Amino acid sequence: MGNGAVPLELGPLYEAYADMIYRLALVRTKNRSDAEDVLQDVFFRCLRRQPEFRDQEHQKAWLITAAIRSSNSLLTRADRRHGAGAEPLETLSTQDDTDDTVYTAVMGLPEKYRTAVHLFYYEGYSVEEIGRMMDTKPSTVKSHLHRAREALRKVLKEDA
């Protein structure tokens, strides 16, 4: 924290962004308990590092990036690589049947495609912004989105 900086207030930050971070973590981990762990880790990192945000958009991007990194760490742990912890997709459903079908199809995508789809369609980020958050090139994000759309088109066509 710089000279004269005001300490970060986590309460309002948590109120504003906890649901978004949880949803992103759930999309990435496919497990409620792991998503809760990621949520907790993100706010612990924020408390420990006390970042100084330029504006609200910088704040949101920092939290999303922290959630991506935290879920990456969680997903690479040895117990996760051996299949422990994944919930069946049907337990991660939404309220609406139409949304439920699309949501289940999205959850069936590989993790990198799920993340790009979630950030682009659910959070409204541009390809360039997603690239920065995922530490990848915008062309890679475009490719992930294209492949995700193709896969979703096939799966949803089969279900129709």
Instruction: Check which CATH number belongs to the domain holding 130 and give it.
Output: 1.10.10.10
Looking at the predicted structure, is the pLDDT value of residue 16 above 60?
Answer: yes
Tell which of 46, 65, 87 closes a domain: 87
Listed residues 61, 87, 113: the one ending a domain: 87
Give the range of the structural domain holding residue 30, as residue numbers without chain letter.
8-87
Report the CATH number at residue 57. Answer: 1.10.1740
User: Which pTM value belongs to this model?
Assistant: 0.74
Please, what is the average pLDDT of the chain?
84
Q: Which residue has the higher pLDDT, 144 or 85?
A: 144
96 and 154 co-located in one domain: yes
Residues 58 and 127 in one domain: no
Q: Is 1 among the domain residues? A: no
Q: Read off the pLDDT of each residue in 84-96 and give the average, rounded to a whole number.
A: 46
pLDDT tens-digit readout, 141-160: 999 999 999 999 998 888 76
Burial of 60 (0-12, 13-18, 19+ CB in 10 A): buried
Number of domains in the chain: 2
Report pLDDT for 81.
Answer: 54
Residue 32 domain flag: yes
